[in-house]
Every structure is written in C-alpha cells, then in structure tokens.
A and B are shown apart, each in its own frame.
Chain A
C-alpha cells in the first residue's frame, strides 16, 4: 500500500513561523518525519507543539516556511487539503459521531452506495478491513458511544487508515487511557508504522517516549532545539533542554514578607463524581503570591473551582482568615472575600455583550441597591474609579466588553473582584491570551494588590511566570500536591521534574 522504505522522509517542514497577536508561537521550526517512525514532539505547555501540528493539519495557516511531502512542496490551506495529502490528526477530543456505528464513522463521507442508497454490506466489509489493519476485532455495527475511549481512539486510527493516511498525528493520545489500554494503543501504533505510516506523537509522559518513540524533537519557545534518537537519550538531558532558557527580564519581581494566613485548604478532595483533586492541603498568606504549577490536566483548574465554590468538594475544608467557609456556591465564596479569574474569560468570566460597567458590578449589585433598585450612581462611579485605577483601555464604561482586547477584558474581570472587596484572588492563567504589554501591567497590578494585603493563588502553565511572580510554588500532578518549592530555591528544572513525577 505504501511504497516507502523505512527511513525516507515522508514529510519535511522548513522554517515554519507563526505569529499570533503579541506572541511568536513558532519561530522558524524545522521538522522532518520518516516513513515508519514514531517521532515524539516534546516541550512545555506553550512551546509550540500544538501550533506546529495545527499547521500540519490545516487548522492554522503558517506565516512563513515550507512544507514538503515526498520532497515536493505542498500547500495546506485547510483540513481538507491535509486530508487529501494523507495527513490525519487524532485529537484529544475525538472527532467521531457518538450516535453512529463504527462502520458509519469510519466511512463517513465515503459511503459506498448504489443508486444513492447506501450499500450496507460493502460498508461493513470496508470497515472490517480497516479495523483489521489496526488489529481490532470489533463489530462494525456497534454504536460508537458503546465503546470505551481507547477503542474509540483506535476506530479513529482505522478511519484515518481508510482515508489512506500516511502521516498520523496523535496529540496526547494516552491521557485518558489505563495502562492496559495504552499497551493496546501501542500495539496499534507498532502495526501501522510497520506498514509504513509515519506517526507524530505528542506526550508529556517521559516513560512512554522510550517505549514507543524512534526519535524526539524538543521544542522550546517556538524553536526546535534539537532532534535525538530514542531510547538512547536520557530524560535528564531532555528536561534540561525543555526548560533551559534565557531569563526574561519583564517580571517586576518583588519579594514580600508573608503576613498572617489568609487561605488554608485542609485535605480538599473533589468534586464528587470526577475526583480530580485528591487530598490537597495548602496555604496562602496575606501579601503573598502562591504559584500553582503542573501539566495540563493535573487538577489545578479543578482545585481553583473548589476553592471558589464553583464545584463542591467531596471532603476537606476551605478556611479563610481562620474561619471555615468551605463554599457550596460562588456566592458563599464571594461573601468570604474570594474572587476568581477563570482561565476561559469569555465562557466563564464575562457577559460579553454587556457593558464594562455591568460586568464590573455583577457581584456587587446587592450592596449597591436598595429594595432591589440598583443605585445607578454608585454603580457608575465605582466602575469609573476602577477603570481609571487599573487603566482599563475603554472609551467609556458603557462600552460592550466584547469589543475590548484580551488584556483589557482580563482587567475588567480583575476590576470586578476589586470592586467586590475580594481579599483573596484565585487566578487561573491570568495572562493567557494577553499581549506582552498588558501582561506586564497585570503583573504590576498583582504586586500592588499583594502590597495592599491581598493574597493571590495563581495557576500558570508558563514556567517563567510561575517562577518570576510566585513567593511559593506548589506543583500538582494527578490531582495531588507533588511538591512545595520556595521561590528562592525554585528552578524550571525542579518544577518540571515534579510536574512530570520524576524525583528531584
């Protein structure tokens, strides 16, 4: 089927560059992929792995650089282009239709038909053949949502093979799998690579690299810093490469002396049903910025939501200023002086089509109204004051939030909690999607707030940010606190090792 000897490059990417407003996501990346190999892409969150793969799959268009397939230049302008070139991506969120059968999913859009009527027998046969290629013995008539995640993933691989994919991109395919399922998935990967398919494999799990990888390319800050053979290369060397970077100077770093305790979590677990947070205890003092580091999916956002009462903990206590407040609703958390800046501002933070003033006032309206009637003057004046104070770039407080830039929107959320007199701020990725100038401004605001006695629990996936801003750092892994590190002795390597579960 595929007439390539193992070792020939199927795919080459040269000098790939991608710029988002305020960020250079990829800065001239070279990457090549040989038939029959599993090429691992390694890098911190935000190093550019996903961006590179999205360019390959046609989800993004590159700003500069060239892509070659079998040595011939190609242009990938859309996911359709990528598909016709034989590039298939298996996403973390599967792109299958749960209500359809296995066969219907594999052949979606390519149904064999006679006079417009689907030939179900031919369809079943074709599906069975593709399933056999990945070594999967599944009834093609089963509904997809009756299968486990691992089997669904393999169906997705079968679907890609049916479409004659020669390059398979797998983005964290094992994140939701058990050890046994991972073994099965690896069997499938070995089978398809033996048939000449090339696999790009993105994972944070170091141990998987050695098991499945042929080569590894390390990305850092949007550059490829090296490609090495596996399993010969040591984890330590790779971690050093991932982390090592020039110290950036735009953190207005400032030591604070921790005052008395503001927040204490005692053995917090939850939420019930999906226990992502497992027995977490930590403290935040007045005037302190505490960083919460960890990989995506380590349970940091879930922890933040528990502290804020957005979800209910199944056990444990949340103590604010010595008082047990363990909030059941955001309302109770707010009453205890907690404010929450969610990671996804647009979905969880702002009412986009409403005004800056309304967004700032939302949690405070109860205090600003008498007999249910809002004092328009108090609302307007308070909003005006915070807009000036935080230098929120908006023409008026009546402007709709949807028209503001990312950094400005973040400041609106911050203003909301300051107007509500929050003394403890839980910030989930406070500078995500924010341009560099606004980032520095937000850092300065954080420092000013802690100067004034507030405490901040900051979740961040950017290691320089965690190291630059925090007085203390907790590292989470699999829902637990893996390490507590003082800022003075923290390094990117130590944090990364803890996040990856390697003893330091």
Chain B
C-alpha cells in the first residue's frame, strides 16, 4: 500500500537530482544581498526626489565619511555575531581607546606609539572579554554588558570626566586628509573592509568563526580549538572599536570619555540590516557595509529634510524593526 505522503516524499527526492535546488539556493542568497542593496538604492531614490541636496558629490562623500565610524565598529560586530555572540562594550571601548590615545598624544608620545597604545587598549579589553566568555563560559551578553560599564568607568577615571582636546595637524590628517581626492576616513574604511573580508572568507580563522556560530559542538568535534578562536573574535571587535576611536578623535580634535554612547546599537543594527543572522553562522561584511550605509543615508536624509532629531530616533528604530522582520518572514516562508 502506498499513501500519498510516501509518493510526495519520493517525488521530493527525485527533484534533488536536478540542479534546481542549488540554483534556487544561489538565487536566494543573491536575492538576500540584492534586497539590502535594493533597500539602500530605493532609499536614495526617495531622498533624491524629496530633496535636491541629497544627490550631490559633496553630500555623498559626507554621508560616507559620517558612516565610516559606525561601519568600522560594525566590522568587529560582524565577526562577533557570526560567531554566535554579541559585543555590547564597543561604544565604551571607543571612548576608552580614544582617551588613552589622546592622553598619550598629550604627553608628547610620537604618533605611532600613541596609536599603538590606543589600539593596544582596545585589543586588551577585547581579549579580556573573549577569555572570560570562551574560558569562563560567561554568556557574551553578560560579559560585554559588564565591560560596557567597566570600560566607560575607566575612561572617566583616566580623564577625570573631562575631554582631552587639541592635537597637531599631523594626527588630525587621519580624518581630514585626502587620498587621491577621496577623504581618508573613506579610504581607511574600505581598506578595513577589504582586509576583514579576506580574513572572514579566505582564512582558517574566518572559517572557524562561521563554524563556531553555526554549530559550536560540531566544530569542536572537528578538532578546532574553539575557545582560542572565540577569544580572538572579541579581540577583533576590540581592535576595530579602537580604530574607530582613532578616527573619531582625529575628526573631532577631541577625545571624550562619554563618546560612543549607543554605538553598540548602531553597529548591531548595521550588521542585522545587512542580513547577518543574530543566531550566528551566517552573514558577510558586504551586507554590513550596506547596512551601515543605509543607517547613514537615513540619518543624513532625515537631517536634510529637517526632521526633528526626536522623530529621527523613532524612524530609525522602526526601520531596523521592519528590515529584520522582513528578513525573518522571508526565511520562515522558505523553511
């Protein structure tokens, strides 16, 4: 006796032999990326219609420059989220790295040494996050939530709560300089994305990050040193936060212990709008860059339209919710 269900199962199996599922999978993944790009382009078109100031070279460069800091923080966040974790301490790390860098510069350290100090603090704090999460088995949410407060407190202690301002032009050129006419922050951001993309897609470390986020136990049983690589993910996040701090300090010509508040949320939003799954194992940096740009364009457009900053908050929040909701619904439909 054969039930209809059995026949259905068999037919289903037959269809596996054709090339169709792969094609569908490829098309789907391409469409995921396209959807984010399409959203960004649609947003740009809308703003172009609404305001003449939007689509000018000057404004485009302006948006990208303003986006660069969130975009850089979001690089580390992408690593962390793909590995199945979260890093809430990035905003405080921006502040802490910034004030350490600024104090070093103020004490007359040569620029390379001061940069090393700033980046070193970021890396060390990330290392601490990673070690406690990977070896102490503390949930990433808790550890980085605690670190958010610890790093903020440290930044306030170092500066006694006061901003540190006034650096020489050599240092500020990191933010104000141009490379072949393109603002340096944009060049720096693209360079970081290129390197990070290579690391994520072509190196062993990158593979393991996807493996750990997708199925930690299976990855461990494949002989991967999960704890080490998990730790390194948070080091990456600490370093990218510190790079963002360099850029922020150079641009504003000041380092504030209260800088970077809410940066973690902007970074998470960029990653998630870019199609990276919060449950880990999936995602890529191309998406994150588009996500960061979308946030930047939205903010810029709302400014140009003269929307009040209160309303801006509200609109941006809703855009994040809708973007992820659409993603979830599409995925559910496919499953």
- Could you tell me if B210 and A358 are in contact, using CB atoms closer than 8 angstroms? yes
* Known A347-B218, A350-B215, A395-B21: A331·B223 in contact at CB below 8 Å: yes
Q: How distant is the Cα of A320 from the Cα of B220 in the complex, in angstroms?
A: 21
- Could you tell me if A395 and B22 are in contact, using CB atoms closer than 8 angstroms? yes
- What is the distance, in angstroms, from B279's C-beta to the closest C-beta of chain A? 9
A63 in the interface, Cβ–Cβ < 8 Å? yes
Residues of A within 8 A of B5 (CB): 19, 63
Q: How distant is the Cα of A374 from the Cα of B206 in the complex, in angstroms?
A: 10
Smallest CB-CB separation from B13: which chain A residue? Answer: A405
- Could you tell me if A362 and B222 are in contact, using CB atoms closer than 8 angstroms? yes
B217 in the interface, Cβ–Cβ < 8 Å? yes
Residues of A within 8 A of B225 (CB): 329, 331
Write 18 A-B pairs (CB below 8 A) sorted by A numbering.
A63-B3, A308-B221, A329-B225, A348-B221, A352-B214, A354-B281, A362-B218, A365-B204, A369-B204, A372-B205, A374-B202, A374-B204, A395-B22, A396-B22, A399-B21, A399-B22, A399-B25, A420-B223
Q: How distant is the Cα of A416 from the Cα of B222 in the complex, in angstroms?
A: 9
* Known A63-B5, A347-B217, A351-B215: A363·B223 in contact at CB below 8 Å: yes
Residues of B within 8 A of A349 (CB): 218, 221
Residues of B within 8 A of A394 (CB): 22
Residues of B within 8 A of A352 (CB): 214-215
A376 in the interface, Cβ–Cβ < 8 Å? yes
1/0 per residue, CB under 8 A from B, across A1-34: the answer is: 0000000000000000001010000000000000
Q: How distant is the Cα of A369 from the Cα of B5 in the complex, in angstroms?
A: 47
- Could you tell me if B219 and A395 are in contact, using CB atoms closer than 8 angstroms? no
- Could you tell me if A334 and B223 are in contact, using CB atoms closer than 8 angstroms? yes
- Could you tell me if A376 and B202 are in contact, using CB atoms closer than 8 angstroms? yes
Q: How distant is the Cα of A366 from the Cα of B222 in the complex, in angstroms?
A: 11
- What is the distance, in angstroms, from B188's C-beta to the closest C-beta of chain A? 23
- Could you tell me if B281 and A351 are in contact, using CB atoms closer than 8 angstroms? yes
- Could you tell me if A358 and B9 are in contact, using CB atoms closer than 8 angstroms? no
Residues of A within 8 A of B202 (CB): 373-374, 376
Q: Is the interface of B mostly helix, strand, loop or mixed?
A: helix
Smallest CB-CB separation from A338: which chain B residue? Answer: B223
Among A63, A330, A333, A420, residue most surrounded by chain B Cβ atoms (within 10 Å): A330
A310 in the interface, Cβ–Cβ < 8 Å? yes
* Known A376-B202, A403-B21, A405-B13: A347·B220 in contact at CB below 8 Å: no
Q: How distant is the Cα of A373 from the Cα of B198 in the complex, in angstroms?
A: 9
* Known A353-B281, A358-B207, A403-B25: A393·B217 in contact at CB below 8 Å: no
**By the criterion of a CB under 8 Å from any partner CB, how many residues of chain B are at the interface?**
37
A342 in the interface, Cβ–Cβ < 8 Å? yes
- What is the distance, in angstroms, from A404's C-beta to the closest C-beta of chain B? 8
B195-232 residues with Cβ-Cβ distance < 8 A to A are 202-205, 207-208, 210-211, 214-215, 217-225
A398 in the interface, Cβ–Cβ < 8 Å? yes
- What is the distance, in angstroms, from A79's C-beta to the closest C-beta of chain B? 21
Q: How distant is the Cα of A32 from the Cα of B222 in the complex, in angstroms?
A: 48
B16 in the interface, Cβ–Cβ < 8 Å? yes
Q: How distant is the Cα of A345 from the Cα of B13 in the complex, in angstroms?
A: 20
Q: How distant is the Cα of A63 from the Cα of B13 in the complex, in angstroms?
A: 20
Which residue of B9, B211, B220 is within 8 Å of A330 (Cβ)?
A: B220
* Known A369-B203, A376-B202, A403-B25: A348·B219 in contact at CB below 8 Å: no
Smallest CB-CB separation from A22: which chain B residue? Answer: B9
Q: How distant is the Cα of A361 from the Cα of B1 in the complex, in angstroms?
A: 43
Which residue of B9, B18, B222 is within 8 Å of A363 (Cβ)?
A: B222
- Could you tell me if A21 and B211 are in contact, using CB atoms closer than 8 angstroms? no
- Could you tell me if A19 and B6 are in contact, using CB atoms closer than 8 angstroms? yes
- Could you tell me if B214 and A353 are in contact, using CB atoms closer than 8 angstroms? yes
Residues of A within 8 A of B218 (CB): 347-351, 362
* Known A63-B3, A353-B214, A374-B204: A362·B219 in contact at CB below 8 Å: yes
Smallest CB-CB separation from B216: which chain A residue? Answer: A351
- What is the distance, in angstroms, from A359's C-beta to the closest C-beta of chain B? 8
- Could you tell me if A354 and B221 are in contact, using CB atoms closer than 8 angstroms? no
1/0 per residue, CB under 8 A from A, across B2-13: the answer is: 010110010001
- Could you tell me if A395 and B210 are in contact, using CB atoms closer than 8 angstroms? no
Q: How distant is the Cα of A424 from the Cα of B281 in the complex, in angstroms?
A: 30
